[in-house]
Amino acid sequence: MRVNLTVNGRPMTADDVWEGESLLYVLRERLGLPGAKNACEQGECGSCTIYLDGAPVCACLVAAGQAEGREVVTVEGLAAAGGPGGELRDGPDGERDGERDGERDGGPGRGLNRGPDSGLNEVQRAFADAGAVQCGFCTPGLVVQAHALLAGADGVPPDADIREALAGNLCRCTGYEKILDAVRLAASRRHPHPPP
């Protein structure tokens, strides 16, 4: 079957989609967006976290056909945007000027290999600065989920809130301390002067 959806602000179409296929498979294997990672395929690890109509979800548990007509933002889409949704079309680097429908410009690493402050999202920058990355496999899911937490938070969230928000994202390399550091860092950079 054919699935039409909007990914990172651009209309996209996937053809020959198997009816039992997940949105994760469509993103990675058909639309060239390997940022969301395929690990557990059962919603346990959070590595495939993406935004679906503004809510962070596990892409492995969304049937491809359920994404028909919906808005998806993947980790690749965060690099050029301050947040999910409307801001996507106004990326700071102007890359989205003169959009060409259907062209896959959201490929691997887009925006991630440039120098500092060149379009990395604040959460991505904080993960890099805090050293909250090791093998990197869990990182995209954690970045999207942390992004969602901070989008709905004022100031620096208490640790209990950060832990709760990230409870569905597993990292197997290391402890979670630097990941927590990264979330606090991203939040504090947004709110350098928290109210007393």
Partner 1 sequence: MDFLRPLTWAEALALKAERPEATPIQGGTDVMVEINLDKGRPAALLDLTPVRDLRDWSREGGEIRVGAGVTYSRLIAELGADLPGLAQASRTVGSPQIRNRGTVAGNLGAASPAGDSHPPLLACGAVVEAESVRGTRLIPIGEFYTGVKRNALAPDELIRAVRVPAATGPQYFSKIGTRNAMVIAVCSFAVALDPSVRRVGTGIGSAAPTPRHAPRAEDFAAGELDWDGRGPLDSGVARRFGELVAASAAPIDDVRGRAAYRTHALAVMACRALGWAWDDVRAGDRRGSA
Please list the alpha-helical segments (H only) found in the chain: 23-25, 75-78, 122-130, 139-151, 159-165, 177-190
| Bridge partners for 49 per DSSP | 58
If binding is defined by CB under 8 A, does position 20 make contact with partner 1? yes
Ramachandran class of 5: left when φ > 0, alpha when ψ lies in -120 to 50, beta otherwise: beta
If binding is defined by CB under 8 A, does position 130 make contact with partner 1? no
Least spacing, CB of residue 187 vs partner 1, in Å: 17
Least spacing, CB of residue 182 vs partner 1, in Å: 18
Least spacing, CB of residue 81 vs partner 1, in Å: 20
CA distance 41 to 66: 17
If binding is defined by CB under 8 A, does position 150 make contact with partner 1? no
Angle formed by the axes of helices 177-190 and 122-130, to 10°? 130
Instruction: Please return the burial class of 109, using the count of CB atoms within 10 Å of its CB with bins 0-12, 13-18 and 19+.
Output: exposed
If binding is defined by CB under 8 A, does position 169 make contact with partner 1? yes
β-sheet with 55-58: strand ranges across: 10-14, 3-7, 71-73, 49-52, 55-58
If binding is defined by CB under 8 A, does position 15 make contact with partner 1? no
Taking CB under 8 A as the criterion, the residue among 5, 148, 162, 185 binding partner 1 is 148
If binding is defined by CB under 8 A, does position 43 make contact with partner 1? yes
In this structure, what token pair is assigned to residue 110?
């887009």
If binding is defined by CB under 8 A, does position 185 make contact with partner 1? no
Rank residues 119 and 141 by Cβ distance to partner 1 and give the closer one: 141
If binding is defined by CB under 8 A, does position 22 make contact with partner 1? yes
If binding is defined by CB under 8 A, does position 5 make contact with partner 1? no
If binding is defined by CB under 8 A, does position 44 make contact with partner 1? yes
Q: Segment 50-89, which members bind partner 1 (CB under 8 A)?
A: 55-58, 60-63, 65-66, 68
* Nearest one of 80, 72, 35, 28 to 51, comparing CA atoms: 72
Q: Using CB under 8 A as the criterion, which residues of the chain lie in contact with partner 1 when the complex forms? A: 1, 18-20, 22, 41-44, 46, 49, 55-58, 60-63, 65-66, 68, 145, 148, 164-165, 167-169
